[in-house]
Amino acid sequence: MSRSISYITGSQLLTLKRRPNIAIIDVRDDERSNDGHIAGSLHYASDTFSDRISDLIQQVKGKDTLVFHCALSQVRGPRCARRFANYLEEMKEDAGIKDIMVLERGFNGWEAAGRPVCRCTDNPCKAASDQ
């Protein structure tokens, strides 16, 4: 049984991200350091994502919803979400994760809609997730 991956709008994410059981996974490569990021997000660059999935599982312990995104969420975000779901299946691990989602329109859509962007260089971002 394949895990399904759903899409979430920026408005929905803005509401959901106040919950403590959600993790936002930014899979952009170099853009994160130049363009900023969603407050509270974790950075797992797509070019090394597959090698770091086990690290990600450790970092998201206690979370049940993961939201992946890249710049536009057309290629890297969905691909990394699928890789993560496949990894959980192959390893017969659920890690308590119920929902794997992709942010519609990605970071660019988030920022274009005037939603808050953090420009710190911390990974994980320590900014309040309700920013």
Q: What is the pLDDT of residue 105?
A: 97
Domains and CATH numbers, the chain: 5-117 (3.40.250.10)
What is the tens place of the pLDDT at every residue in 65-87? 999 999 999 999 999 999 999 99
95-100 contacts: CB < 8 A, separation 24 or more? Answer: 95/57, 95/60, 95/61, 96/61, 96/62, 96/63, 96/64, 97/60, 97/63, 97/64, 97/65, 97/66, 98/64, 98/65, 99/6, 99/64, 99/65, 99/66, 100/3, 100/4, 100/5, 100/6, 100/66, 100/68
With a pLDDT cut of 90, the percent of the chain lying above it is 73
Q: Which residue among the candidates 70, 80, 118, 125 is catalytic per the annotation?
A: 70
**Catalytic (active site) residue 80:** no
Per-residue pLDDT at 53: 96
- This prediction's pTM: 0.93
pLDDT for 56 beyond 50:
yes
